[in-house]
Structure 1
Amino acid sequence: MLDACRLEVAPAQRKFVPPVAQSLAEVYVHPDVARPRLICDGEGGPEEFYLKLGYRKRGLTDDGEYLGDMDLTG
């Protein structure tokens, strides 16, 4: 866990991604709604990560990025 807490995102991403320690604190405070996830280079990237969780590709954004969804009814 300490190695994860030492990770930093690129400066341009900092406004979108909280530090790992903050994310872990949110999971501790809200375990019923927050789940920790960590994606590192060399592990297939975010697309493979989300597909393994059960997300499905549902189209593209105007920028060419995939949109995904997950069936939460069953």
Structure 2
Amino acid sequence: MRLERITPENYEAALALSVRPDQEDLVAPVVKSLAEAYVFADHAWPRLIYDGDRLVGFLMAFMGIPWDSNRNAGDLRSGLWRLNIAADAQGHGYGRFAVEAVCGEIRAVGGTRAYVTWEPRVGGPEEFYLKLGFRPTGEQSGGETVGVLDL
């Protein structure tokens, strides 16, 4: 498994990536993520996930985003912003690989915590993130649960 930058050669394959139909309300499509990566270029870290030559997923991390300037101006956070694993590639460890890769990047820039949010509903990714060691912070972001992992 490896991560690759989005390039003129692979972006169309990235745009065609889709999750299972029952997950479409849980994660934005890759096209929205790429638009956000363009708009928030100073903080977004988008990558494609490959297994050999096969595209199996997309991730986007965020690096050093101020969390809540009203509470704590120095609270800069990094973590997993988006994770899309192709419908036919789920259950093979690609999600775990993606989270570990993001955590490695955060460590490389001196970060000590990784954050993620998830929709708190049946069929959502909460169990996946909890198994990886994330714990709820008690905060919400856009109605989603905020989780943190100490690195």
TM-score by length of 1: 0.64
Unpaired stretches in structure 1, ≥5 consecutive residues = 57-61
SS state of the match for residue 133, structure 2?
Answer: strand
2:18 maps to 1:8: yes
**Displacement after TM superposition at 1:46 (Å):** 1.3
1:33-73 CA deviation, whole Å, 9 max, x = no partner?
Answer: 222133413984111222233179xxxxx9462224365xx
- Number of residue equivalences: 66
Structure with the larger strand share? 2
2:48 maps to 1:48: no
Distance (whole Å) between structure 1 residues aligned to residue 132 and residue 97 of structure 2: 12
Structure with the larger helix share? 1
TM-score by length of 2: 0.36
Greater RCO, CA 8 A, separation 6+: 2
Unpaired stretches in structure 2, ≥5 consecutive residues = 1-10, 50-55, 57-88, 107-112, 114-125, 135-148
SS state of the match for residue 51, structure 1?
Answer: helix
Distance (whole Å) between structure 1 residues aligned to residue 47 and residue 150 of structure 2: 16
Report % sequence identity: 35
Aligned to 1:21: 31
